[in-house]
Amino acid sequence: MANVIEEAKSGRASCRTCKKTIGKGELRLGVEVTNQFSDTPSMAWHHALCAAGKLPGELKEAMATYEGDIPNKLELEAAIADSLKKGKGKPGGFPYVDRAPTGRAKCMQCEEPIGKDTFRVAVEREIDTGSMVTRGAGYMHTKCAVANLENTGGSKDELVEGIRTHSRLAPDDLEVAIGEIEAGVA
C-alpha cells in the first residue's frame, strides 16, 4: 500500500514528526511502516504540514492522488517545494534521478563510470547474489536511460512521469535532468 492522505478519523493518533496529537478531522499523511515484531505493516501518521517538512516526497505523491479537498494546499505545496530545495527527504520509489554521490558506480547501459555529482537515473532491477535474487537500485547516465528502455520495456513518457513523481531534486534541477534524459545526451 502506498502513502495516504486522509482526514483523521479520531483524535487519538499522534504525529511522528512533532509528537503532538492529530486532531479529529485534520489532514494527515500516513506512511506505511513495517516493524520487526509484526508481519502486518502499520501506519505512521504525520500532520500534513509536518510531513511537508520531513517527508516532502511522500506527501507530494499522496497529494497527487488525494481526491478530497485540501484547504491549505498552497501552503503545503510551498512547504514541500521549500523542503525539496533544501534536499530533504529521500527518494520514495523508482525510477528517480539524483546526483551521483561518488564517481565509482558504472552505468548499467554503457558500463562507463557515472561522474561524481552528475545526474544519474536510478531504476529498480533484480540483483542475483548467487544464492538469491533480490531487488535493488541500478544506475544509469541520464543520456543512457532512454536507450535502456529497450531492455526493461516501458515508454519514455512513463519513465519521465515516474521520475517526476519520485525524484527529490529541486524543480530546476529536475527539469535539467529530464531534458538530458529526453535528449539522450549528457
- Judged by CB under 5 A, the stretch of 31-39, 122-130, 135-143, 163-171 that binds Zn ion is 135-143
Is residue 44 at the binding interface for Zn ion, with CB under 5 A as the rule? no
CB atoms within 10 A of CB 132: 7
Query: Listing from the earlier edge strand, what are the strands of the sheet with 4-7?
Result: 4-7, 27-33, 42-47
Is residue 79 at the binding interface for Zn ion, with CB under 5 A as the rule? no
- Judged by CB under 5 A, the stretch of 53-61, 70-78, 89-97, 101-109 that binds Zn ion is 101-109
At residue 133, φ and ψ (nearest 5 deg) are: -110, 120
Is residue 63 at the binding interface for Zn ion, with CB under 5 A as the rule? no
What DSSP designation does 143 have?
Answer: G
Among 43, 44, 70, 110, binds Zn ion (CB under 5 A): 110
First-to-final CA distance of the chain: 36
Report in angstroms how near the CB of residue 132 gets to Zn ion at its nearest: 28
At residue 138, φ and ψ (nearest 5 deg) are: -120, 145
Residues of this chain that bind Zn ion (CB under 5 A):
15, 17-18, 47, 50, 107, 109-110, 141, 144
